[in-house]
Amino acid sequence: MSDEGQTITRQEQETIQEENLIENILEEEPDEKIIFRYSITSYGADYTLDSLVRRIQDGSIYVPSFQRAYVWKIQDASRFIESLLLGLPVPGIFLSNEQDTQKLLVIDGLQRLRTLQYFYEGIFAPAKKEFALKDVNSNFEGLPTSLCHQNIGAVWMIRYYTLRLSSKMSLLMITVASIRFLNG
């Protein structure tokens, strides 16, 4: 109710009831301490985009069945590549190291990872067409990736960060560390 005595809506009343229920549950739970010992070590290493794509192609990096399929349209993929070309920050790609096979499972960032692969290969696989940038900055609009590589002379440096959580579990994060332009 407001200060003037107006009634609240049913939705507002349900929200208040849910909040009260959550508060009561939190108050009733005893303070439990979970002891989890771990050691995190990390290191960074730079690789080129072609080395990342080769690892995807040879199966060293693979997509587990729990991941959704690639859903980006060419415009989404183009905007991601444009962000990289413009030097904008983008989220990392997270992989988990499978101890038995030493393969890397994609945990987060499948859309970004596949986009990098399609851009590098020059074919936008979902449409089975040449990967030409669409709906981006006019400097890049319509350029096929082959021309884009030649025109801007870019060397893409990929940075890998490994977080070792225990002897049996590690997580790998990939970011585009830099794009070096050879033609000025």
So what's the pLDDT on residue 58?
A: 93
pLDDT at residue 54 tops 70: yes
Maximum CA extent, the chain: 71
Contact 56, 70 (CB under 8 A): no
Domain count, the chain: 1
User: Which of residues 142 and 5 earns the better pLDDT score?
Assistant: 142
Taking residues 31-51, report their average pLDDT: 62
Range of the domain at 128: 38-181
Q: 10 Å Cβ neighbour count for 174?
A: 22
DSSP class of 147: H
Of 162, 179, 180, which Cα lies nearest the Cα of 171? 162
Residue 70 lies in a domain: yes
Residue 111 lies in a domain: yes
Residue 11 lies in a domain: no
Residue 67 lies in a domain: yes
pLDDT at residue 132 tops 80: yes
User: What's the pLDDT tens digit per position in 63-92?
Assistant: 888 889 999 999 999 999 888 888 788 887
Average pLDDT, the chain: 75
Residue 30 lies in a domain: no
Q: How far apart are CA 121 and CA 87, in angstroms?
A: 21
Instruction: For the chain, give the percent of residues with pLDDT over 70.
Output: 59
Residue recorded with tokens 């794509």? 53
Residue 156 lies in a domain: yes
Reported pTM: 0.66
Residue 19 lies in a domain: no
